[in-house]
Structure 1
């Protein structure tokens, strides 16, 4: 192979960045960095230290990672900083707790190179339920998965996995709003709503090794995830959200008003005038909620169209800038 051909092949090779958000992971981070450097020898491994009080940053640096610090606490804040500050053709995101196998990373990268914008490392189809010792986490994963799949008509097996690969376009056009562990759920809903190209690959999951402590708060983080789903459904699916709410309120009001109308039909009197007025007001509120849902649904569809236009413009600029 000539030097010119070798140079062309190297320039065509995609650049890969491994993103590891970390908070107090000194027990495992060294092994995780070494594993990813072995699995992806040409990749740069970035460790973002999120105010750790142990030796996470130093151990990661000694293992060969590029270490940066993100002072805003929360995984969503860290990922937001990573996406803004790092440029690469392919991004692989994992956790620093050694629960995800680094040897699956090349397959995730290959799918992005193939044309997918987000590749999900699916834990739930492999060993998650056997390895994970926290039953409420298992229940929460199923609940979130079934709720989102039902609403969007999708078949995503693992909504909340932290092991994913992304394209450059996805990273630079995805607006991260969540600050904590609910960010993965937000990513998935954004992907489904905007019809972004995605796929799943089953990956083996292993529980944290002895001495490594989970930062998850089962109840607190569960409430935050559910509140995020509630907020995103309101934003992305306003017609079903406000339509169902309006229908419920309207039916309750209609029931109150109907009971007074039946009494009037039988007796010729209206003994519960406040009930009649209250029922009619509830019917009006229900109708207003339905109308609000229709208006917001039109705006949501307009937002999807704008996203496609902006994404196409971004892709055009990226190609012509030589990236």
Structure 2
């Protein structure tokens, strides 16, 4: 088992990967650096090996798929994940690692948004998207994560071995964040500097396509982790619409004794029934979620015992 494993997922990063690996090795000489190449068509793999990294391959395209394999294959007391595009200086790497090894943090988030991100990043829609996701997730899950989508994070062994990777793409960071918040894991924020990609290096993130995938992932996880709130909100909306439609019908009935819009009355009835169904679905699923939380704590205990045995 490694004490510190540095995980670098890569796809066509030949302009930066060698520098990133060298920077990591000089900053954390005791760490083992793993570069996972995700079907690069340039010299990324060759340059990573030249720099002294352990090279592994993930042939299923997508950052989430790469991280799934990383977490499955590598055992370490602390994992530091960083992108291979040289956008994160390594100045704070030791602080992130220290919070896992010495302060029992389950996940440490490298917070770009509180430092230079908005001045360095030249893609305005990315700035808007990061702010929107941070506000939405912190509001929905009642937390205070400073940077939801950062690729600069540190993890404990317990986090890595109990995190079920569902995402295949760039929405993986959102999934990690919500997972940690849902299970009340210890999350720390460390402000890190951010610099834009060097000239000639291109982002693989598609602003609109990946942005939609991130929003879908957030809503899906909100439904899965907070079903009573999700389905309760649907129930409330259905009942409110039914009331808006029903009140004029009731007024006419009280005035004339007639129900001239009988089909609308039937629609109101069905909407109320649908609202009740939604509410009961939320209540049933909430019980399932409560059981899952208990099972998760049991799994964490097993993983913790496994860690002690391997150390």
1:226 to 215, 221, 227: 215
Structure 1 residue 187 displacement after superposition: 0.3
Q: Distance in 2 between matches of 1:161 and 1:298?
A: 32
Contact 1:20 1:47 in 2 (8 A): yes
Matches within 5 A, 1:108-119: 108-114=96-102, 115-119=104-108
Contact 1:99 1:208 in 2 (8 A): yes
Matches within 5 A, 1:108-147: 108-114=96-102, 115-147=104-136
SS of equivalent to 1:78: helix
**Would you identify which runs of 4 or more consecutive aligned residues in structure 1 move more than 3 Å?**
none
Structure 1 residue 318 displacement after superposition: 2.8
Are residues 1:243 and 2:232 paired? yes
2:263 to 271, 274, 285: 274
SS of equivalent to 1:89: strand
Q: Deviations over 1:77-109 (max 9, x none)?
A: 000000001111111000000001123211111
- Corresponding residue for 2:294? 305
Q: Distance in 2 between matches of 1:224 and 1:322?
A: 38
Matches within 5 A, 1:188-199: 188-199=177-188
Matches within 5 A, 1:159-238: 159-238=148-227
Q: Distance in 2 between matches of 1:318 and 1:110?
A: 18
Matches within 5 A, 1:7-26: 15-26=3-14
SS of equivalent to 1:20: strand
1:288 to 249, 255, 277: 277
Contact 2:110 2:150 in 1 (8 A): yes
Q: Distance in 1 between matches of 2:306 and 2:82?
A: 29
TM-score by length of 1: 0.94
Q: Distance in 2 between matches of 1:143 and 1:96?
A: 25
SS of equivalent to 1:226: helix
- Corresponding residue for 1:6? none
RMSD of aligned residue pairs (Cα, Å): 1.2
- Corresponding residue for 2:49? 61
Which sections of structure 2, spanning at least 5 residues, go unmatched? none
Structure 1 residue 263 displacement after superposition: 1.2
